[in-house]
Homo-oligomer: A and B are copies of this chain.
């Protein structure tokens, strides 16, 4: 099994590839990942399983492709939110809340499928890492926009994006969604974002937040000042 091989976007994507992916995804949703066999995929398509191997080197490559397409959908969803009109703070909050809500919803309405995808991601940790990086980029972009528009002041975008990502992990990470308890998750997520973002925007007296942090005697991580 190749370690990663993040889908080659250079691949011309033979139409049969896409058909195989879709069939595999259907079977995956219906029967779960441990009942998904290459033989079954081939049978559902009326071809020999050997033929599937003309389009995918390994079964893992099929799973990679499914994950890849699913991640692209999620990322489009997040980008859509990030591009809305409104303040950067509003959009940061919306990204976190709506992604959280969507994941919770998925978990509640079809725990089986949710668990399937969760296990799938455990098998391909690099895909998950890449996904988290994308989310980090969205945070970073929104922070940079807020800074550019004057909405935020004295923010180290890179550092702050990491803080946001880490602090919202409880509400966004697939492993946590099922463990975060059922109560009030949306308002708790909102509060986390607001408590953090509040520090970015303190409007008139600009030095306060940094001073109040300073007194903790800090070397912060990547201290390239904004």
Contacts and interface: CB of A to CB of B under 8 A. Distances in A.
Interface of A: 87, 89-90, 93, 129, 159-160, 162-163, 166-171, 173, 175-176, 179-181, 184, 187-192, 194-199, 201-205, 208-209, 211-213, 215-216, 218, 220-221
A195 B191 contact: no
Contact of A203 (B169, B176, B208): B208
Q: Is the interface of A mostly helix, strand, loop or mixed?
A: helix
A171 B119 CA distance: 22
A176 B209 CA distance: 29
B93 A191 contact: no
A109 B91 CA distance: 41
Contacts of A204: 205, 208
5 contacts: A162-B188, A166-B192, A169-B169, A190-B218, A203-B211
Contacts of A203: 208, 211-212
